[in-house]
Structures are given as C-alpha cells and as structure tokens.
Structure 1
C-alpha cells in the first residue's frame, strides 16, 4: 500500500479529504492527518510516508516550507499542493521543489482521485525498478562477477603476459573463439564524473551498473558475440568477437544500439557507448580498448549522439587550426548587429571544432578566449560596465556547465546576439556607433593608400554626407583629419623603433608618394621624417 498524509489547518478540509477519497480502493493508506507543516515534518521524520497532500497557507510552517524540507531531506516523497491562491509565484516555488501537482481549491474528490492514481502508478514503477536492481545485485555477487571482471579487464588493458591471461581465462572457463575482436565501453551520462559523487550517489551508481551489465549481457549472449564485464569507474565493457570481420562493424553497431535503447527504456537515462577499432590478435586488444575510451571523449563535441564508433570519428576529423574558426568574423558580425551572420558563423565554428576533434578542455579554452574579446568591444562603444560584466558572467557559467558542444555554442550564440542587441538599442545614440566603427576600420586599414571617404562609407553602408556630419559631430574631426592623425602616429612609431627608410615608412602608412608623406609629416610635427628619426634615435 502507498502511505499518504493530509496536511491542512482547516479541520473541515482535513475531514472532507479523509472521508471522501476511496483510499484503499486506490491502493493507498491514509496514515495521518496534520494541522500544519511542522506537525507533518515531525511525523515524516518518524514514519514511512510516500505521498504528502498539503495546503499552502498554514501557521508555524506553511506548505511551501514543508515542500522545501521534503525536497531536500526526503526527495522520494511525492507532494500534492492544493491552494486557494492562483498566483504565479506560488506555482513557481512549487516547481522549484518538484511538487507533483498544484491544485486550486475547491478540489473535487474525483479530481484528487485521478491525481492519486497517476502518482500511484509512478510509485509502483519506481518500486519495481528498485526490486529489479536488488535482485540483480544479488545475482552479481553470487556469480563472482567481480573476479571475472578483473581477469577480463587485465586482458583488454594488456597489463599481463599471454600465458598469465590464458591461465586465468581457463580457470574461469572462458574461451575466446573469434578471429577478430572489438572492445566497446558503456558509460551512463548522469554519472560520468564518479569522483564528484557523494557516498549515496556512488551506491546508486553501483546498483545502476548492475542493470547495465545484465542488459548488456543478455543482448550480447543473444547475438553470441563475446563477453561482458565491469570496467573501471563503474563502466561496463564489452569484449566482442567474430569470425566474420567484414560484417563485424555492422553487428557491433547493432548490438550497441540495442543496448542503448533497452537501457533508455528501463532506466530513463542516456547511455554513451564507444566502440574501438577491429583487431586480429589478442595481445593488441588494448589498442581497441584505448580507441573505445577515446571515442567516448568525443561525446562532448558530438553531444546529440549516443554511439561513438572510432572508424566514423576518424573519417570525420582531421587537422584544423584555431585561425580557421572564424573568431574575427564573429566580432565583425556583432559590430554590425548582423544576427544572421552570427548564426552562420557559429555553424562554421561548430563544424571546425568537430573537424579538429578537439577535447572538451580545448573547446572550453577556445570559447573562453572568444568570449573575452566581446567585453572589450562593448567597452569601446561606451556601454554600461555593469551590463557588460553581467552578460559575460552569465554566458561563461552557461558555457562551462553545458554538457555538449551544441549546448555551449548555443549559449555563446545567445551571448553574441545579446551583445549585438546592446550595440543596436540606442545606447550608442548620436551616431556614436558609426563613428567608432569608422575608427576601428581606420585602425585596421590605414596602410591602404586607396582608403578614403567613399570606401569607409561603402563599408558602413551610409551616404558620404550623412557620415561626414555624424563623424565630425562625434569626434570633433573630419574623416581625413582622423585618418591623417592615425597615419602620422603610426609613422612616428616606425621612425622611433625601426631602421626603415622614409619611403618604406610612407608606403606602410598609406602614402604612395614619399614627398607628399614628408610634407604631411612636417606639417603635423614641425620636423621632417629624417629630423624626427635622428632626434628620437639619438643619431
């Protein structure tokens, strides 16, 4: 029977629910009625309870406080809230504490009975799974699978001699009959980082490992395809064998897909399976095992997949440099508030990372570098520092907690779109955006002697007359004055720090005529280039 309690400070409500619900018929036992959350809390601490039905508004401890307590201390207890308050904040809090149902008063007996039936079905299903796990755990120990797993693990890791392996396999009655072998490794998505699990989670993970083992064993036996055993860090390992090497890859894939599907049905969890390459000699099994582990490492960049076959990965990955991943393009798209270009470039970035076959750590390093470049861009447009910092921190948190490249890039795309929106929402009023984009363009192209008003206006897609007025208003200079100023500054730096000749410097800063450069430099500094260089270099 499912044990339930009712919590409400109104005696009529308590009595009405107690009397009008056919508890026994629904498979329930009403074990207590309580007048407030504190009384219910005390009862739960000393008795077995499966379902709590509670009002929200009560003295001493209200229904939401009780739900919070149960959420943290007794997460297996299902909670039903009935309330006279149809407010979003109450419902939001209820969702936070994983309340099963939020019902508005008045609640009919029929309505509540329907909810209890649904919750009862979920509890029955959970109990059956727990019973199954218990039976599998007993079977595991009875058959001495730990010893068997140790022997097979040594075999695939290649840490013993062939003679030692043969002797141990013979003692266990294991015969390897195939002339081609593959190693596959199964990992549960929710328990990848076993080092971060507390004792309760580790126990839960061990029990689930028994389920993974038994399901895998059943399917591999059905195919007559090899051995299944427990590996390191709660992984399950498949040593697959065949006498038909040509069909072996297809059969291995079919076995893995069937295992994934069955485990999804039973556990409701995603499993990842890495399949190593095909080998012919037993002493080379460690190569296939290492391949399988390496294939699993690709789950981050191919996050939507659940089966990772080394042959497939090698076909789709190769050399790729970071400079090919469109970092500069994305900043230009943000500058121009071009969200379509942002989406296109993010797709290019995803393809580049996958082609490179990067690890999760390298992806994080690369994306963080790209993320760090955006605040400087936003600051150059004089946006609010608080907004800049907050948006970056939120994006960094989302990117680091993402479970796949797809999710991380989605967070990054949202950040880029937000940055583009910030640049285009009026915070850069008075034409500041055009002026700053122009100054940025000049900084990058001042060495091109054809750079002029027409080329900058074509780049910004704005008329020359409108741009000239905006630029003068924001900077206090004409476009040509600003361009000449930057060219002269760059020329001074070259004269001070290099031994280049005057005509070489003229060419580097955008002057095709050295004589015109000398005249412009003397007008700007009061000295000829030669005099300036002699003075600065101490010649």
Structure 2
C-alpha cells in the first residue's frame, strides 16, 4: 500500500496535535512528517521534505494560509492542499478556486469528516500514481512516442551531423519549429541498477521520459526524445541567464520522479548556444555533466558551466577512444583507473605491425591533445612543460615502460590540479556569498534567489555546495548572521527592538522577536537584560 506524507500547518500547536491524535493515519495510508506554526516555516519544511499533502489553516502570523497555498502551487504544483477554516473565512477561502484546493474543511474539525476526506484523497493519489506506473499505459506510450523521422533528425542534430545547407529543408519536411534565440541540451539519465522492485528498467526510463514531456517540455518549448539509453531535451530560452532557472527546475524534477516513481535520475545541463548547428557542443557538455554524478551524487541536476571551475572544456578530438577515456578518468576517476586507462591507450600506441612513421604521428597527436587539454583546463605540469618539439624529441626515444611512466605522471598531475581547482572554485563561491551577505544583510528581501543571481549559478548547485562547505543552509546562515548582528546592537546600544530588527533586515518586529527567541531561547529584551546583569 502506498503511504503519503502529510505536513500540518497551524499557529495553534494544540490544534495540530489534536488532528494527529484523532486520526489513525497509518490505516488511512498517510504519515505526518511534521508541524509548522506559520507559513514561512512551512515553506522551509516543504522545500526540505516535499510532502505529498499539506493541510493548513488560513489565519497565521508572517504568512497566512492563502499566501502559503499560492507559493505551494507555484513551486510544487503536484502537492495536494487541504484548507481548514472558520465559518467566517469560508467564503473568502472559496474565492481562491484558482489555487486548486482539494478540500475546504470547516472548524471545529470532526474526526469522522477528516477520515472521509483523507480516504477520498488517498484514492485520488493512488489513482494518479497507478496511471503513471501502469505498465500497459507505458507500453502504449512507448509505441506512440515521437515520430521516428523527427527523433532521427534530433539525434543527428545533436551529434553535429547536420550541415547548414540541409537544415532548412529538414525543418520544413519534418514540420519542426524552433522559435527562441537561445538553445541548449539537457540529458536525463535514469539509473538501470537502482529501480523499484518488480519494475522493468526500460519501462521506468520511459515513464521518466513521459514526465519530462509533461513537466519540463511545455515551459521550455523542448523537443524531447530518447537517445542512447537517455532522454534528451533540446530546450529553447529567451536569454542565456535562464539557464540557472532551468537547472533548478531540473533539480526539482529529479527529486519529484524519485518520490513518485522511485526513479534515480541525473540531469546534465549543457552550455547554451545561439545557433542550432552548435547544439552538438551543448549535448557533449550535458553528457559530460551527467558523468560527474560520481562526484556530486545522483537524483539532481548538474550544470556543466557550474562544475567546471575554469574555461568550459571542449571535447578533445582524437582518433583513439582510449585517449578520450583517459581524459575522462583524469576528471573523474581514481589513480588506479587512470593507470588502467594509460595502459589501454599505450596498447594501441605500441602495435608491432604499425610503421615507425605512424607511431611518430600518434605521439604528435598525443602531445597536441595533451596541450589542448591543459590549455582548456588552465593547468600545467613539470613533466609537460617547454616547447612541443622538445617534448616530442624526448618521447620518440622512450621505450614503452618509460612512456608509460611519463604519461601516468602527467595524467596524475593533471588530475591533482583539476581537483584542487574544483575545490578552490567552490570555496571562492562560498567566500563571495558570505561577502555579499555582509554587505546586504540589512535588506529585508535578501533571498537565495538574489545571491544565486549575483553569483550566476543555480539555486540547487549553490545550496548543495554551501551546505557541503559550511554545514548549514544559506537561509540558516543568513539568519544566524543577522541574529549575531542583532545581539551586538542589543549589547552595545540602547536602541529599541523594532529599530534593531529593521537594521538587520526585519521590518516585522514580532517576526524578528520570534526568530530571535527560536535562535537563543529568550526574547531580545530579556537577552539585553540578562547580559546587563551579567556585566554587573
């Protein structure tokens, strides 16, 4: 039996406790994950736990129930909302039909009525999930997916095998329209190893593709198709800066399909481009971003522009697939994997049947490709310094074992510098964020969106990096910083609490007191009094 998560929101704690005690939630198929006593706290909990259902009162401090419902529908449209109200609020609540409230429940709450409401809601949720998981529906959807000609065109386009003189005719023949001035590719990878029990991995991937078409494709005017075991979306943007918003939406999508379908997905977001024929670079970047899940984890979106700390790395061109594999291991692999890749590459370099001339050409290709890799990543190595001609003269005289040692040493040096650069980039990002807070903490509207817009990164990437480096969420850090400043002013000045509140970004003095007491266990005035006593 499916069990759904429920968040209770009411500023009267005894009300939520009574609701939780009155109902046999396990029997109904629900689990109460927590309580919130105001709309702002509820939003924090919804972002963290993403409950299936939110049951909220209307009248609450700081953010009332109607505002909360609007925020939920805007950010988490699949979340079901139940609104309980007093009789005098009922007509006011009913006016908000655009919020798609599941049920309006009049106070005082009745256990029998509540049980009936949640029983019906359980049936609705089960039906929605059954539709998404129904094998016959998925198989039919698989047969009725995008027309083959269109899918072939999209795959050929992202592989860079469409020429400029062909493009217009293809678009006309296949009735394809691209309208936006900026384009990009995202790659959705669904794990075939981590799937729900009894679920066919292929059908699960198709279900994820379907959800992508329903939730991501319309907003971004995306062309969605399956390619090489993944789902690929060619997205259209009004401007380049929208890539951060797209990344955040992809991140929420990964968490959504994991919660609803049990699918473990990673979405790679490639760099944007201004021409359709440049989509191959965006696709290659999106594919590379997906491979970074070994570092950043699955069930999330990874933007290639955010994780590469220096210049955007172009895909190195080499006739040897083994050399490309080596570069991949330099970025993502262990020392043992790098050594194995070096050996695999050298097996193809030292082939007895090859002529000496071909061997020398291969060495020149190796050197030039290593140069491109180091330039694009802004890295250097003692073993790989000087003129290309000088390095070439050294390498042509090395026997296989000597060349292996040289290439392994260079590869490990590259790996160390890329790892250091990645770490340095993250620390620099956090330092800039803290500096921004120091300059803007007085502004009431300072938010996660502001800081990410200033830094040019997505909310999801910044939040995960900030939490990883500091052990705290950005909102938590901002609150603590403001409270520290408030404490200092309480001790060093005679200013009124409402003035201090305003000076640290809170126009609502009551909410400031609420946050302060939650942080320190006492009100601002009592904090000042106790400090004064301690001084005496």
**TM-score, shorter chain, exceeding 0.5:** no
TM-score for the superposition, normalised by structure 2 = 0.33
TM-score for the superposition, normalised by structure 1 = 0.33
Which has the higher Rg, Structure 1 or Structure 2?
A: 1
